């Protein structure tokens, strides 16, 4: 999961977040966020995509987030990714 995420990011997109920091956040939050997405989408590929996109956005926005709000921000963003998937499915 971590390697796949890094491949999606350009060097400039995670320069403010070291690989070690990103790995730590992934260890703590990736699986719970994935499980949330999976519980809503019931499709492995869609849940993986939503989780990946959540973490890509996180890497872009981490520098403006306060540490105590990261968990809620991740779940809120994941929820928006789930809603985006629902919208795609309805088209």
**Predicted model pTM:** 0.84
pLDDT at residue 6, rounded to an integer = 57
CB–CB of 4/26 below 8 Å?
Answer: no
CB atoms within 10 A of CB 52: 19
Tokens standing for 40? 């809503």
The phi-psi region of residue 42 (left if phi > 0; otherwise alpha if psi is between -120 and 50; otherwise beta) is left
Mean pLDDT by 10 residues, the chain (91 residues): 56 63 92 98 96 90 90 98 94 78
Phi-psi region of 35 (alpha: psi -120 to 50; beta: other; left: phi over 0): alpha
CA gap 60, 86 in Å, rounded: 24
Amino acid 10: pLDDT: 60
Q: What's the token pair of residue 1?
A: 């999961």
């Amino acid at each position: 999961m971590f390697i796949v995420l890094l491949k999606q990011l350009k060097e400039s997109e995670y320069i403010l977040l070291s690989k070690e920091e990103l790995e730590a956040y992934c260890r703590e939050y990736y699986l719970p966020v994935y499980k949330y997405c999976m519980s809503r989408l019931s499709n492995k590929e869609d849940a993986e995509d939503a989780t990946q996109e959540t973490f890509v956005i996180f890497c872009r926005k981490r520098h403006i987030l306060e540490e105590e709000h990261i968990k809620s921000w991740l779940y809120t963003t994941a929820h928006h990714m789930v809603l985006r998937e629902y919208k795609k499915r309805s088209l």
